[in-house]
Chains A and B, each alone.
Chain A
Amino acid sequence: MKFKSLVINCLFLMFGVLTYAQVEIDTTQFNQLDEVILTATRTERQLSSLPMPVTLVSKKTINQSGSVRLDEILREQTGIVTVTDESGFEGVQMQGIASDYILILIDGVPLVGRSAGNFDLSRLTVGNIKQIEVVKGPSSSLYGSEALGGVINIITEKPSQQDLEGSASYRIGRFSQQDINLELSQAFDQLRYSVFMNRFSSQGYDLNTQTEGQTVNPFENYTLNARVYYDFSDRLKFSSSTRFFNENQDIGFSNQDEAFNGDTQQNEWNLHTKLDHELSSDFEATYELYYTSYKVEESVFNSTLNSLSSANFFNQQLLRPEVRTNLRFNEKGILTTGLGYQYESLDRTFFDDQVNFNSQYLYAQYDVDLLDQLNIIAGLRFDNHSEYSNQLSPKLAMRYQFSDQLALKASVGRGFKAPDFRQLYFDFLNSAVGYVVLGYNVAADKLEELQNQGQILETVVSQNELNQDLDAESSTGYNLGFTYKRDRWNAELNFFRNDFTNLIDTRIIARLNNGQNVFSYVNFDEVFTTGLEFNSNIEVTKNFTLNAGYQLLYAYDKTNLDRIENNQVFVRNPANNQTELVSRSDYFGLVNRSRHNANLKLFYDLPKLETDVSLRLLYRSKYAQFDTNGNGLIDTYDTSFVNGFATVNFAASKQFFNDFRLQIGANNLLDYTDANIPSMPGIQGFVKLNYQF
Chain B
Amino acid sequence: MCTMKIKNVILGLALSFGLFSCSDDDGLVPVAAVETETISNLHAPQTGGQGQPVGGDFTKFDFSSGTVTTSETDWDIAFRGTTIAINGGEATGTNDEPERNANAGAAIVDGTFDTVTTAADLNFSQDSPTGFAIPTGSDNGWYNYNFMTNIVAPIPGKILVFRTAEGNYAKVEILSYYKDAPAEPDPFEDETRYYTFNYVYNPNSGDTSLE
Contact = CB atoms under 8 A, between A and B. Distances in A.
A16 interface: no
A89 interface: no
B82 interface: yes
Contacts of B82: 515
Contacts of A640: 148-149
B28 interface: no
B50 A433 contact: yes
A31 interface: no
A437 to B, nearest CB: 11
Given A574-B183, A627-B146, A630-B143, A431 B156 contact: no
Interface in B85-132: 92-94, 110-113, 130-131
Interface in B135-149: 135-140, 143-144, 146-149
A449 B130 CA distance: 18
Contacts of B30: none
Main secondary structure of the interface of B (DSSP, over half): loop
Interface centre among B81, B83, B149 (most CB of A within 10 A): B149
A514 B183 contact: no
B175 interface: yes
Interface string B28-68: 00000000000000000000111111100000000000000
A630 B175 contact: no
A572 interface: yes
Contacts of B13: 576, 578
A153 to B, nearest CB: 34
B148 A513 contact: no
Contacts of B51: 431-434, 514, 516
Interface in A86-117: 86
Contacts of A508: 137, 139-140
Give chain A's interface residue range (CB within 8 Å of chain B).
Answer: 35 or more
Nearest to B183: A574
A579 B157 CA distance: 6
B110 A568 contact: yes
A515 B148 contact: no
A515 B110 contact: no
A580 B137 CA distance: 24
A578 B146 contact: no
B24 interface: no
B154 A434 contact: no
Contacts of B136: 457, 511, 515
Contacts of B112: 570, 578-581
B189 interface: no
Given A579-B112, A580-B112, A628-B146, A515 B157 contact: no
B1 to A, nearest CB: 27
A511 B157 contact: no
Contacts of B147: 86, 433
Contacts of A304: none
Nearest to B149: A628
A577 interface: yes
A38 interface: no
A86 B148 contact: yes
Given A508-B140, A579-B112, A640-B148, A514 B131 contact: no
Give 4 nearest A-B pairs by CB, closest first: A570-B157, A434-B51, A630-B144, A630-B153
20 contacts: A86-B147, A433-B51, A457-B93, A457-B131, A457-B136, A508-B140, A514-B50, A515-B83, A568-B110, A568-B157, A572-B154, A578-B11, A578-B13, A578-B112, A579-B112, A625-B148, A628-B146, A630-B153, A630-B155, A631-B144
